[in-house]
Amino acid sequence: MQPLFFYYFAGATVISAVLTVGLRNPVYGTLALLSAFLHVAGLFILLNAEFIAAIQIIIYAGAVLVLYLFVLMLLNLKSTEKVVQRQWGVAIFFGAVVLTEILLALFKSPAAAPDGSTPGANVPAAGNTEMLGLSLFNDYLLPFELVGIILLGGIIGALVLAKQHPAR
């Protein structure tokens, strides 16, 4: 049953990603990106990461994507412009080269693990959210605070950038 779900979620993620990059209308692109995020959340549930899946849906699909859509409505873009660069053939060629290179590096390197390594069925004593919280606030407390500072910088930067300055 599990491979079936994996192939559904993986295929839907890849198709949504291609549509995000390929669709002409940015609103349709946003909806394709939403579909990609939801299917990635399904993959996270398949990987026993329920809390990350919930965060993915709440923050990515709920907050970030709504922010994008909101700005998209504010901008009122013209849809007559050309959407892709002239050099799209070269870009796709180099993308294929990078894909081949990464896959070769993964599967032909001397450090490659034997294929088909599967996890055992050890279920942690507490739930995923509880274990994650304990780890986050004990072992990763300093990175947690640093991420808070980065978020504060992001808020202040966005406000300063988007503020309407009166004419001087």
Partner 1 sequence: MVALSSFVILSTTVFVIGLIGVMIRRNFLIILYSIELMLNAANINLVAFARYTHTLTGQVVTLFVITIAAGEAAVGLAIIIVLFRRRSSTNVDQLNLMRW
Binding to partner 1, residues 106-125 (CB under 8 A): 106-107, 113, 115-120, 122
- Residue 51, both tokens: 């809390």
List CB contacts of 83: < 8 A, sequence separation 6 or more.
24
Look up residue 59 and give its DSSP letter.
I
Contact status: 154 vs partner 1 (CB under 8 A): yes
- Residue 116, both tokens: 């088909």
Contact status: 149 vs partner 1 (CB under 8 A): no
Contact status: 66 vs partner 1 (CB under 8 A): no
Q: Are 22 and 38 contacting, i.e. CB atoms less than 8 angstroms apart? A: no
The sign of the dihedral angle between the CA atoms of 87, 29, 34, 133 is: positive
Contact status: 104 vs partner 1 (CB under 8 A): no
Residues numbered 4 to 23 that lie near partner 1 (CB under 8 A) are 6, 10, 13-14, 17-18, 20-21
CB of 51 to partner 1, least distance (A): 8
Q: Which is nearer to partner 1, 125 or 162 (CB)?
A: 162
